[in-house]
């Protein structure tokens, strides 16, 4: 079973805790990087801690929740080795794993409710990277990230 890391700001705190409880009941090991209250916090720091947990090899996949999911995804995608996707539909959540080998799912508590959030999480964590023709595209994403622009020719 995959080890997951979760993080949220104050706008996503309540939904994070509900999802965390559900995943824990299912037997997933969850690393929670905060926040731990509805008090205002600096979401880029939460995103950073989550991404570091993944790049350090302590978790395979991450889930970030804020008001919309957009701010968290912007922060997460600044980290080398992170491919974060902000989604609010299960088709995108599934295909971002299958085609983009995304390792962080982002969404907003103000955008999706608990039921849809769990569908997004399930689609994301239960889908494997398809590889094949998609592997070359992911390697091009990595080349851009590494500023290896010769690889893009």
Catalytic residues: 66, 99
For residue 103, give Cα distances in angstroms to 20, 37, 62, 86: 17, 25, 6, 11
For the residues of 113-127, what is the DSSP string, one character each? -HHHHHHHHHHHHHP
> Are the beta carbons of 120 and 93 closer than 8 angstroms?
yes
For helices 133-145 and 90-100, angle between their N-to-C axes, nearest 10 degrees = 80
32 has which bridge partners? 6
């Amino acid at each position: 079973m995959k080890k997951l890391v979760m993080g949220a700001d104050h706008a996503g705190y309540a939904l994070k805790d509900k999802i965390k409880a559900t995943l824990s009941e299912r037997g997933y090991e969850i690393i929670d990087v905060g926040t731990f209250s509805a008090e205002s916090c600096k979401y880029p720091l939460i995103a950073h801690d989550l991404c570091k947990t993944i790049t350090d090899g302590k978790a395979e996949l991450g889930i970030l929740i804020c008001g919309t999911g957009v701010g968290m995804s912007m922060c997460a995608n600044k980290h080398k080795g992170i491919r974060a996707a902000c989604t609010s539909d299960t088709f995108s959540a599934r295909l971002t794993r299958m085609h983009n080998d995304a390792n962080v799912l982002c969404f907003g508590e103000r955008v999706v409710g608990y039921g849809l959030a769990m569908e997004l999480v399930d689609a994301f964590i239960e889908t494997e990277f398809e590889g094949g023709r998609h592997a070359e595209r992911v390697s091009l994403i990595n080349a851009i990230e590494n500023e290896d622009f010769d690889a893009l020719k």
